[in-house]
Amino acid sequence: MKTTLLDIVNIPVDDPVIFTFFVGYMAMLAAAVFFFFERGSVDGKWKTSLLVSGLITGIAAVHYYYMRDYYAATNETPTALRYIDWTLTVPLMCLEFYLLLKPAGAKPAFMWKLILASVLMLVAGYIGEAFTDGSMAHSVIWGVISSVGYVYILHSAWAGEAHKLAASSNNEAVQKGIRALAWFVLVGWAIYPIGYMAMPGGWLSGVLQPKDMNLFYNIADAINKIGFGLVVYGIAIAETNKKTTMA
C-alpha cells in the first residue's frame, strides 16, 4: 500500500516511538536555537564551546526530522541515519572536553585521541550492526572493537587525561563540568552498547525488541546531547559571571 504524506506526519497515539522521534526533533531544535543565541551572553573564550553545543543539537535535530519520517513510513529502525548522526555529533561531544580543558593545558593531541576513539567506536558499531549476518561471532568481534573506543573515552573522563587536566585546572566550575560530562559518558552512553547487544546475534537478542531500543535511543539522545550542551553552558555562564564580578 502506498504511503501518503498524511500517513507520514500522522502520530499514532499508541506508538510512543514515533512520539519520541517528534519530541526529540523539537527538543534538539529548540536547544540548538538556545545555544546559538546564548553565545552572545558569555565571555569570548567560551563562544566556541557554545557554538559546538549548538551544532551538536542542530545536526541531531535535522537527523531526527528524517528519522521520524523514515520510521513513520516503514516502521523500521533507521540504522544508517542514526549512525550518520552519531558519527557527526559524538566527535563534537568529545571536542567539548578539549575546549573546556584547553585553558588547563589540553593539547590538540588530546582532542584527536578522543575524536579517533569515538570514530573507532562508531564505525565498528555500524559494521557490526548494519552488516550483521545474525551470528554471535560477528556481533562479538565488532562489538569488542567498538568497545575499545568507548572504554578509552570513559577512562580519559574518569581517571585518564581529561580527569587529570580538570584536577590541575584549579577551576571548580570546570572540575564539576568535566565530572558531569563523565557521568553522561558512563551512564548516558551505556544505552548504546545495550542496544547493540539487542540486535540479532547479540547477547541480548530476543530480550529487547528493536522497537523498544528506538524508544530508549530517542530518549537517551535528547538527554545526552542537550545535557552535554547545558553543562557547557553552565560552565560558560559561571566563568563569565565570575569575570564580570572581578572586573
- The answer to whether 179 touches 163, Cβ cutoff 8 Å, is no
Inform me whether the pLDDT recorded for 191 exceeds 60.
yes
Exposure letters 77-112 (e unless 16+ CB within 10 A, then b):
bbeeebbbbbbbbbbbbbbbbbbbbbebebeeebbe
- What is the model's pLDDT at position 135? 80
Residue whose C-alpha is closest to residue 10's, from 28, 26, 22: 22
Q: What is the pLDDT of residues 57-102, one digit of tens each?
A: 999 999 999 999 999 888 888 999 999 999 999 999 999 999 999 9
**What cell does 95 get?**
571536542
- The answer to whether 49 touches 55, Cβ cutoff 8 Å, is no
Q: What is the arithmetic mean of pLDDT over 184-204? A: 84
**What cell does 55 get?**
551544532
- What is the model's pLDDT at position 207? 75
- What is the model's pLDDT at position 11? 61
- Global confidence as pTM: 0.91
Instruction: Name all contacts of 73-77 with Cβ < 8 Å and 24+ positions apart.
Output: 73/3, 73/7, 73/8, 76/210, 77/210, 77/213, 77/214
- What is the model's pLDDT at position 55? 98
Q: Domain-by-domain residue ranges, the chain?
A: 5-246
What topology does CATH give the domain 5-246?
Answer: Rhopdopsin 7-helix transmembrane proteins (1.20.1070)
The SS3 call for residue 208 is strand
- What is the model's pLDDT at position 1? 44
Query: Which residues have a Cβ under 8 Å from the Cβ of 34 and sit 6 or more positions away?
Result: none
